[in-house]
Amino acid sequence: MRSNAIPDFSSYNGGNFFFFGRKVFSCEKVLGSGAYGNVFLFTSRDGEKLAVKCERRYHDRYAFGAYFKAEAEWYQKIHGLGVFSGDLANYTKPHYMLIPYFEGKPLYEVIYYSVKQVFFDWIWTAAAINELHEKHHVIHGDLKTDNIISGKRVYLIDFGFVTRVNTKRGTVFRIDENNSQYHQAPELFTNTNEKQLAKTTQDIYSLGLLLRDLFSIYTENAFLIDDTHSSQTQEVIENLSTRDPSQRWTIAKAIYLLATSFLSTIPRNMWQTSIKIDEKAKNPALFMPFICVMLLNNALQIRIDELTQEKKRLNEKSKGARTKGKKITGLSDLQKELTQLSSSALDVLHKAKQDSDMTAGFFRHKTRDLLEKLSEISVCFQQTH
């Protein structure tokens, strides 16, 4: 029987217990503090975990109820759970929101020992931002290492600055006269007397600085840094965070070109760099598979072209020419199978590596090693660590 002393979360008032979904949740610990609230972990008897954000007093009043309510609604739309509690008309008592708890660490606490870890966390953050833009038609507006959780997956949190695209943003304050909030796009500070419209390029700028920060954490801990990773990462950072919003790369192009750094045996100038996303691939569910397949197909095409040139230099009836012909056919068939998106790229590549025609010949290691590298990259495009 429900105790009258334990409220439903809809009428929660800051105690150590509440009912939600027919379960009693009890406060376990403080998770963190932000500018407008403190976040607490609550756990049910069967181990389910949820988070509660509690409003902090500001100038002796609780005036951010409307913001809490709006943020809770965005949590509901984006993550499937966001419940507001409190009286909007009452400034003497705090407001609350019930939100998901994501197991993991904020990115500023993660120590990166490999560039693949950096790549994984960054591309899935970028994919989540792309989903906000394409599915919900909003920007996050406050993208930084504090607001991303890395666990089994990568999760965006803190939706207090979420704004619909092409509507006016809330005021973004400078930290001081000479130092604006470094993760915010510079155009937000060009005219402080006028509110700026929300643009997806503002999140893209923040993604560039996020990549810079994560790669910096990696370089502080790495014993040896591949120059290819370093130069191509720097190129991506510069083109995402350029001051001119119209010149910033798309998220798709940034992910694609960052991934090419893992294939350092292929010269940078051989990669197709004009990235066009099909309308159907703008669907967030297809966005990452589409980029992965585009990358794999381009890498395979470079190898096919190389084999074709090698075959032309051989006697058409020679064993070497026949072997190269089989590889060309096998790689072309592999391209077609990948394009269908009917199975995971990893499964398709694993099957290809078992094909004796694909790994035949004296120089078999070039094709085999390419397939191995493509398999490693494909793992990064799987949504879980």
Per-residue pLDDT of the chain (385 residues; tens, 9 = 90+): 345 689 999 999 999 999 999 999 999 999 998 878 999 999 999 999 999 999 999 889 999 999 999 999 999 999 999 999 999 999 999 999 999 999 999 999 999 988 889 999 999 999 999 999 999 999 999 999 999 999 989 999 999 999 999 999 977 766 555 444 578 999 888 766 677 899 999 999 999 999 999 999 988 877 666 666 788 899 999 999 999 999 999 999 999 999 998 887 788 788 877 777 777 777 888 899 889 999 999 999 999 999 999 888 888 778 888 888 988 998 898 888 888 765 577 777 877 767 666 655 544 578 888 888 888 888 888 877 6
Q: How many CB atoms lie within 10 A of CB 188?
A: 21
Fold of 105-262: Transferase(Phosphotransferase); domain 1 (1.10.510)
Position 341 scores a pLDDT of 62
Query: pTM for this structure?
Result: 0.89
Q: Where are the domains of the chain?
A: 9-100, 105-262, 288-380
Position 191 scores a pLDDT of 66
Helix orientation angle between 251-259 and 284-312, rounded to the nearest 10 degrees: 40
Position 284 scores a pLDDT of 87
Residue 16 near residue 27, CB atoms below 8 Å: yes
Residue 236: exposed, middle, or buried by beta-carbon count in 10 A (0-12, 13-18, 19+)? Answer: buried
Read off the tokens for 234. 């720097």
Q: How far is CA 172 from CA 139, 211, 252, 295, in A?
A: 14, 22, 27, 37
Helix orientation angle between 319-339 and 284-312, rounded to the nearest 10 degrees: 170
Domain range 9-100, CATH class: alpha beta
Report the alpha-carbon distance of residue 232 to residue 287 in Å, rounded: 22
Q: How many CB atoms lie within 10 A of CB 43?
A: 17
| Phi, psi torsion values for 24, nearest 5 degrees | -95, 130
Position 171 scores a pLDDT of 72
